Chain A
Amino acid sequence: MRRTKRSTAIASAFVALAMIAAACGGDDEAAPAPEPTPAPAPAPEEPGDPIAIGALHPLTGGLAQDGIAMDEAAQMAVDDINAAGGIKSLAGTELTLISADSQGSPDVGATEAQRMIDEGVVAIIGAYQSAVSINVAALAERSGVPFVIDVTVADAVITDESRYTFRIQPNATDNGVFGVQALVEMAELAGVEISTVAHLYDQSGFGTSIHDALAAEAEVLGIEIVEKITYNPFDVSDLTTELARVEASGADALINTGYYGDGVLVARGLNEVRPDNLKVVFGVASGAFDVDEFPSDVDGAGEYFFNSNYHYDATSARVQDIRARYEERFGKPMRTAGVLAYQAIEVIAQGLESAGSADRDALRDGISGVVIDDPLVATSGPIQFDESGENINARPIVMQVLDGNIRQVYPVNFKEADFVFGQVPWRD
């Protein structure tokens, strides 16, 4: 019996250990102890206790790569603002970041957001996945806590009634609409005819919401969607059959909306199936085609692929400086998701600056009035929020894989290189 007891204890301890590892794996940046928010006082002369901002991202699980990077970028933004003298209208009060792990789950995300609100954060940034952001937005509206979305495309996160939720990046509708528009405009500029399109996309809310917007706009522009194919990006291990369907459809262009692993499968599969009909491969909010590692991971199979996506502005000197410092500090390139997290912290800092108060309602009004003239992400103007909290100037831009590098190619004001239209890597 003793042995049984002992082995039970060992097993239980092991399981407990594993669970703990699951709960905090990857969250190696320990959050500083939260400080209670100081009561709002008009025009303080002494810096108050640090103001806490919550960062909620998937720090473990399949999306941890971007989640961790976003958390790091947010921390860097907080450090930069503190180093530059804190919030000046609050006599230099510093910021502090509380990190939380959504584990990629809407339920955990909501619980963690509630915990951070209870701990006194003035605002929350997050949450990367649509399902998580929808829960957090509902909570933010109910609790009166500003929620600045760094990455989440689903339209439904922001409604007409939203008061406390703000989004910097383009939503699904903007992504779908501008994606097709860019495809058509670029085809015209290049003199290549694109009249039929096949859309291969993620079956979850992310892909379908983009598909709906894209399909509606395609109809307006007279483009026919001759094949639509969905897949689950998290369990797919082969897309050859799907790509054979794209070939059978005879479409001029393939549009793909998905994540990284499936994007790699698309590129590799296309170079095996080699559809004769395709003139162009075009990502709309693809999580792969504009990632720096993508061209080498697929060994040239992604050359000439386009991606219309929200993206950091590679032509901005401020972005270049932040990305260089990030890479030095964390030893890896800073991706768009990270730049957006940085930007979200800046938006909150500016909101605090103009509110002159750490009161959540005052901050909400502050954020709704911010104008950021030198945004880090490519937009069609300064970051400014409309009534519902969407950034009125949010726009995707188009990148292309050229000579194994990701280059901004369209619109012209963000251009790093001239685009090559009508080419696919399996027909050189």
Chain B
Amino acid sequence: MDNSPNVAAAGAADDPETVEITDSGASLMTDAERRERQIRRVVGVIVAVTVLSLNFEQIQLLTGPNRSVLIQATVTGILIGGVYGLVSMGLTLIYGVLHIINFAQGALMTVGMYSAFSLVSRFGFDPYATVVFTVAFLFVIGAIVQGLLLNRIMKESLEKQLLLTLGLSVFLENVLLLLFSPTPRAVQLPYARGSTSVFGITVEWPFQVFGAVASLPRTIAFFGAMALAGLLFLLLQRTSLGVRIRSVADNPRGAALVGIDVQRTYILVFGLGAACVGAAGALVLPFLSLEPTTGESFNVIAFVVVVLGGMGNVVGAILGGLIIGLTQQIGGIIFTGQSNLLGVFVVFVLVLFLRPNGLLGRAH
């Protein structure tokens, strides 16, 4: 396996014809395929230009007098995109190694948020200090789910696994409803309006960038998400544990033959995937209000991000998260009067059309 962080090469490994076809190794393409690819590109560009020109007036306004709105959309898009990336990373990791589409990812995030909320409101924790606990807690929950439930049906049909995670999400949501009632909760960040000094540079919050604002909680969430993504990347690339995970993803039978405990690796991976949303939950809590269904709204976005970035590709998830965050925000101000998901799905369809395996995905 090369040094690419793609953990989803399994499946391709059984087929020596396709295993070499990565996007850089396009030399194996036939002329017909190349032609088709070019046609796709041209069509894609035409569609994109047409869609955008439909709203040319709005674009003119945004590059002219309303530039501050465009800058704000960019700042917000990047900040929220980082969080989308972190949520999606857990999902893509689970898919890449276990080939399970985890519908409970959003519900697990809500569990993370409520555990952080309980620590803040009961014991007076700082909201960000709870990250350590939510990561550990969600890791344990994820490991239990995999160990007790999913490991038993790993060889069964896809629908069974899918149904199980779907059921789990409904179950978790209702347990939270029972425990915490549907009353919306919020935590306060007392220092959100102060100033921070780093290396002699004092930053006033909310931070002003070219007329746009970046609030402290959103900035922390972004950098926190990026740091955790970096850690996960290093774990996968630079540690023996990462090698174990990647080899299980690549070829579970082969991994078992060289003495890797595949079942235990699955447990570990699901735990890690859940821990990602545990962290994300604690990071977004200071700027979102919390209800038992809050995490669900991240579910749809996370699926889009994962498919966009390439199923099973960890770096793709971060990239996809940023793209979706930006598209959502900038698309929202170009196509006014629509859901800001419209732009997201336009980009989504375009990317799938041009690169059916996602931005960083490999051909299967």
A residues with CB within 8 A of B: 3-4, 7-8, 10-11, 14-15, 17-19, 21-22, 25-26, 60-65, 68, 203, 228-232, 234-238, 240-242, 244-245, 247-248, 260-261, 264-265, 268, 272-274, 293, 297-299, 332
Q: How far is the CA of A195 from the CA of B20 in the complex (A)?
A: 66
Residues of chain B within 8 A of A17, CB atoms compared: 167, 171
Select the stretch in B112-120, B212-220, B249-257, B354-362 that faces chain A: B212-220
CB of B148 to closest CB in A, whole Å: 9
Which chain B positions have C-beta within 8 A of A240?
A: 72, 75-76, 213, 215
Asked if B336 is at the interface of the complex by the 8 Å CB criterion, the answer is yes
Q: Which residues on A sit within 8 Å (CB–CB) of B287? A: 238, 268
B50 at the interface (CB under 8 A from A): no
A298 to B184, CA, bound (A): 12
Question: B340 near A: Cβ within 8 Å?
Answer: yes
Query: Which one, B21-29, B236-244, B289-297, is touching chain A?
Result: B289-297
Instruction: Decide yes or no whether B332 CB sits under 8 A from chain A.
Output: yes
Residue B93 interfacial (CB < 8 Å)? no
Q: Is B16 positioned at the interface, with any CB of A under 8 Å from its CB?
A: no
- Name the interface residues of B49-85: CB closer than 8 Å to any CB of A: 65-66, 68-69, 72-73, 75-77, 79-80
Query: Is residue B35 contacting chain A, with contact meaning CB distance below 8 A?
Result: no
CB contact under 8 A between A11 and B213, given known A237-B297, A293-B183, A293-B184: no
- Please, could you name 27 A-B residue pairs with CB atoms under 8 Å apart, sorted by A? A7-B152, A11-B152, A11-B160, A14-B168, A18-B167, A25-B178, A63-B182, A64-B177, A65-B182, A203-B339, A230-B339, A231-B340, A232-B339, A235-B297, A236-B297, A237-B80, A240-B75, A240-B76, A241-B333, A244-B68, A261-B288, A261-B289, A273-B72, A297-B186, A297-B289, A298-B186, A299-B188
Annotate B174-192 by CB proximity to A: 1 below 8 A, 0 otherwise: 1101100111111010000
User: Nearest chain-A residue to B205 (Cβ)?
Assistant: A272
The 3 closest A-B pairs by CB, nearest first: A7-B152, A65-B182, A25-B174
Across-interface contacts of A237 in B (CB, < 8 A): 80, 284, 288, 297-298
Most buried by A among B168, B173, B341: B173
Q: Does B149 contact A (CB under 8 A)?
A: yes
**B333→A21 contact, CB < 8 A:** no
B156-175: CB near A (< 8 Å → 1, else 0) gives: 10001001101110110111
Docked-complex contact A25 and B288, CB < 8 angstroms: no
- On chain A, the residues within 8 Å of B218 by CB distance are 238
Query: Roughly how many angstroms separate A317 CA and B300 CA in the complex, as a whole number?
Result: 47
> For residue A268, which residues in chain B have a CB less than 8 angstroms away from its CB?
215, 287
> Contact at B289–A260, with CB atoms within 8 Å?
yes
Decide: A21 near B170, CB < 8 A? Known: A242-B332, A272-B215: yes
- Complex Cα gap A298–B188 (Å): 8
Chain A interface helix/strand/loop/mixed: helix
Neighbouring A residues of B329 by C-beta, 8 Å: 238, 241
Interface residues of chain B: helix, strand, loop or mixed (majority) = helix
A-B pairs under 8 A by CB, number? 157
Q: Inside 8 A of B166's CB, which chain A residues have their CB?
A: 15
Interface residues of B in 259-310 (CB under 8 A from A): 284, 287-289, 291-294, 296-298, 300-301
Shortest C-beta distance, A244 to chain B (Å), equals 4
Tell me, rounded to whole Å, the shortest Cβ–Cβ distance linking B304 to chain A.
Answer: 12
Contact A14 B297 (CB under 8 A): no
Contact B337 A228 (CB under 8 A): yes
Any A CB within 8 A of the CB of B5: no
Q: Please determine whether B149 and A11 come into contact, CB atoms closer than 8 angstroms.
A: yes
Are B170's CB and A241's CB within 8 A?
A: no
| CB neighbours of B186 from chain A (8 A) | 264, 297-298
Partner pick for A261 among B152, B291, B339, CB 8 A cutoff: B291
- Whether the pair B177, A26 counts as a contact (CB closer than 8 A) is yes
Would you give the shortest CB distance from A101 to chain B, in whole angstroms? 12
Distance A363 CA – B287 CA, assembled complex (angstroms): 49
Counting CB contacts under 8 A, is B44 at the interface? no
Complex Cα gap A61–B294 (Å): 10
Specify which chain A residues have a CB less than 8 angstroms from the CB of B196 in the assembled complex: none
Pick the contact of A244: B69, B188, B298, B338 (CB < 8 A): B69
List the A side residues contacting B183 at CB < 8 Å: 65, 293, 332
Residue B206 is within 8 A (CB to CB) of chain A in the complex = yes
Contacting residues, chain A, for B185 (C-beta < 8 A) = 297
In angstroms, how far is the closest chain A Cβ from the Cβ of B329?
A: 5
Known: A8-B160, A60-B177. A241 touches B69 (CB 8 A): yes
CA distance A390 to B73 in the complex (A): 43
B13 at interface (Cβ–Cβ under 8 A)?
no
Contact A8 B156 (CB under 8 A): yes
Q: Which of B167, B168, B173 has the most CB of A within 10 A?
A: B167
Given contacts A11-B160, A21-B170, contact A241 B72 (CB under 8 A): yes
B153 at the interface (CB under 8 A from A): yes
Known: A60-B177, A65-B291, A68-B182. 4 other contacts (CB 8 A): A11-B153, A203-B338, A244-B72, A297-B184
Chain B residues in 8 Å Cβ range of A230: 336-339
Bound complex: CA A63 to CA B292 (Å): 10
A364 and B351 alpha carbons, distance in the complex (Å): 57
Q: Can you list, as one digit per residue, whether each of B99-112 has a CB less than 8 Å from chain A (1) or not (0)?
A: 00000000000000
Given the complex, which residues of A lie within 8 Å of B69, measured CB to CB?
Answer: 241, 244-245, 248
